[in-house]
Amino acid sequence: MPKSSVVGPTTAHPPTRLRSRAPWRLSDIDYAAIDRSQVINDPTLLTLVTMASFVETGSDLYAHVLVSYFDEDPEIAGWLAQSWEHEEVQHGAALRKYVEHAWPDFDWPTVYDTFFEEYAKTCTLPDLEPSHGLELAARCVVEMGTATLYSSLHDYVQEPVLKDLAARIYADEVRHYKHFYRYFRRYQQRERHGRWRVGRTLAKRMFASRDDDGYCAYRHVWRATRTSKGSSVERDYQAFLDRVGTLARRHAPRELPVDMLLRPLQLPAPALTGAKAVARTIYRFWLHA
Ligand SMILES: [Fe+2]
Ligand SMILES: [Fe+2]
């Protein structure tokens, strides 16, 4: 996900409401009810949702690597293969279907194929961490980022079907976070990494693949939709990030991502206030940089 596409909690719709969602299926989404008039004149939103659909659809590329990394832990490997991977791929399918209904002029399968060809080869995924515990901490950051994105999207979007879909995906990402965090704590009891090491891992993954993924997806959407031959992808991407950054400032959650970020550090209560101030600064930088 592009950095600025990560936006969070909601002012109009509190996170508690967003979180209380049961598992869902593609058939639960009422695509026939999409009000295209509310999205068709918002190219930033359509581009962002399409980019998210590309990256989520391509997530099984990484999922297989992660499942085999945990193949000696049947509980984690089972959850990854049967729940997590399935849900991430469903996010991609649900967003794809939304784009195909809301933006029928966009040739999703063709553009996705060109994206995936490059993504699989050159948009390198972050290396796995050298220990299972640290990789689980890094996964917490990734889920924090996606939860922030879909919470922000839910807060920003007026179109009811996309608003509903964003809430469903948000709830999944928060649940994924909770699973990874629980597994992290289990491994941390054995591996006992210091807070400095865990913090460095969190920061590294937080700033790692975000721009690569986002820019890779943007380039392919841009090539398929640009209207002027004289335009430049770098310049247009920067302008896109600026627009998304403006939305993030208004719609991103404030506290939940900070808590999600700090939790793997397992700080004692007296250290929390100071740590939160630092984490808020890092989070704002990540969101808007
Ligand atoms: Fe997802
Ligand atoms: Fe997730």
pLDDT tens-digit profile of 32-89?
999 999 999 999 999 999 999 999 998 888 888 889 899 999 999 999 999 999 999 9
| Spacing, Cα 221 to ligand 2 middle (Å) | 23
140: pLDDT strictly greater than 80 = yes
DSSP 13: S
**Of residues 206, 93, 66, 92, the one with CA closest to residue 148:** 206
Which domains are seen in the chain, by residue range? 3-288 (1.10.620.20)
209: pLDDT strictly greater than 90 = no
Residues with CB under 5 Å of ion ligand 2 are 143, 173, 176
Q: Name the phi and psi angles at 27, rounded to 5.
A: -70, -10
| Spacing, Cα 269 to ligand 1 middle (Å) | 31
pLDDT at 19: 53
**Within a 10 A sphere around the Cβ of 234, how many other Cβ atoms?**
10
